[in-house]
Amino acid sequence: MDLPEGSYIARYLPNAFFSDRWTITVPTKRNVTAMSLYIESLRRLPSWANAFMRVRNVLCRMVGLKDIGVFHEVLRIKHPNDYLVGDRVGIFSVVSNEPNEVVLEDCDRHLNVRVSMQIIPSNQDSTSQVSITTVVHAHNWFGKVYMIIVYPVHKLILWRSTRQIKSLFQSNRFLILPD
């Protein structure tokens, strides 16, 4: 998988069990950061995505896995630039929060999941690429089976997220804009 030079998530690619990258082209907005865009995309996920996470959490608790919450669990009073390494944003914890790339993760004994939202400005015109990259390291057979089971939903959520992001840029209806 090709990633932009200097991409923080690239360090997690070696020996990954699974990785994918979804990229769309949008008009450049100077005051939109990767974290603000990530939070906006979480807030706009359809209710079925959170319903899926609730069912996932019930089933996982039954077999001794942790409840990781739902996507919409975002602190509404916190400014996107104020999230620090280790803070929870939805179902993930912050690993890195830079203006053009945010990396989040959830790690347990079966697998480590890392997600990057990255904004890559074009040098040729007034557009940017928004890229969502997922990298998964499975530690055992259970982690591999889990990932195979959730992959279709993962794919559907990312497809929906990229459509929502494109719509957000076209309509210019951002709820959160950093100062």
**Domain at 127, CATH number:** 3.30.530
76: pLDDT confidence band, cut at 50, 70 and 90? low
The sign one gets for the Cα dihedral 142, 145, 147, 149 is negative
Residue 118: how many other CB atoms lie within 10 Å: 25
Q: Is 177 domain-assigned?
A: no
Range of the domain at 140: 17-171
**How many domains in the chain?**
1
Cα-based distances in Å from 68 to 39, 50, 92, 141: 17, 11, 8, 20
30: pLDDT confidence band, cut at 50, 70 and 90? confident
Q: Is 65 domain-assigned?
A: yes
Q: Is 12 domain-assigned?
A: no
Q: Is 128 domain-assigned?
A: yes
Can you state the angle between helices 47-62 and 141-171, rounded to 10 degrees? 160
Q: Is 6 domain-assigned?
A: no
**What is the pLDDT of the chain when averaged over all its residues?**
82
pTM of the model: 0.82
179: pLDDT confidence band, cut at 50, 70 and 90? very low
Determine phi and psi for 80, rounding to 5 degrees: -55, -35
